[in-house]
A and B are shown apart, each in its own frame.
Chain A
Amino acid sequence: MKSKRRLFLKGATSAGLIGVAVGAGLLKPVRVLAAAWPKTAFDADTTDAAMTEMFGSTEATESGDIKVKAPDIAENGAVVPVTVETGLSSVESISIITENNPAPLSASFNLASNAEGYVSTRLKMGKTSNVVAVVKADGKLYSASKEVKVTIGGCGG
């Protein structure tokens, strides 16, 4: 079983395969977080389109329970540290949308029930933009945003 799993994990790069493995009982049938990579959402060129593709809705309630930590001014748009923290309960996912990027949806983190409402990463920003955190908790969407001023963009050549 152990060696089988090892082999399997090496080969399994797509969520589809993981789904098959769960079906075959290779993995414990816990909640599987890996959905298929949402290409249409990542390809969307507006925030609304990305939201619609990702969540089926553009409506997110602004919440004071979400904190977006990012620099006020990013000197280097290629590396902008962004941390999202939320005190909301039953958090299912945290997504980060950089409104003025060519493709606004930057990242989406699916969280298991034992994960805390906290993610931190580094993003590229083409120009000054609002960074919006969209938290899906208990089936509802909540958001908070912070403006980051970019002096040198990180998306161009």
Chain B
Amino acid sequence: MSSIKVRAKAAGDVVTVKALMKHPMETGQRKDSSGNPIPAHYIQEVVCEHNGNEVMTALWGPSVSKNPYLSFKFTGGAKGDTLKISWSDNEGKSDSEEATIG
């Protein structure tokens, strides 16, 4: 199952995108119960494409909350268009999800 939930809604010419990603977003500053540091593990980059064209790229540090939420808006989208969101983290893992603008 994808780690990303995406909703994209067109109102007139403006498309509002809301995305929720499942990710621990570990800062690297916390310690586990035995006092060992928990290594940093967080999403560094989120790319959003509308019909194959990039509309937004988010660069994130570890201070973005766990299970990050992201919302933005763009013009030029229409109902039925494809929206793709991909993330990649500092461990080289990645995931992506496509949604249809509704």
Which residues does A use to contact B, with CB under 8 Å? 5, 9-10, 13-15, 27-28, 30-35, 37-38, 42, 78-81, 83, 98, 101-103, 105-112, 114-116, 118-125, 154-157
User: Which of chain B's residues have a CB closer than 8 A to the CB of A108?
Assistant: 58-60
User: Which of chain A's residues have a CB closer than 8 A to the CB of B94?
Assistant: 10, 13
Q: What separation, in Å, do the CA atoms of A103 and B59 have in the docked complex?
A: 14
Place the interface of chain B in its size category.
Answer: 35 or more
Which residues does B use to contact A, with CB under 8 Å? 14, 25, 27, 29-31, 44-45, 47, 52-66, 68-76, 84, 86, 88, 92, 94, 96
Question: Closest residue to B73 on the A side, CB-wise?
Answer: A116
User: Which of chain A's residues have a CB closer than 8 A to the CB of B92?
Assistant: 13
Inter-chain contact B76/A114, CB cutoff 8 Å: yes
**How close is B33's CB to chain A, nearest CB, in angstroms?**
9
- Given A27-B52, A107-B58, the answer on whether A101 and B63 have CB atoms closer than 8 Å is yes
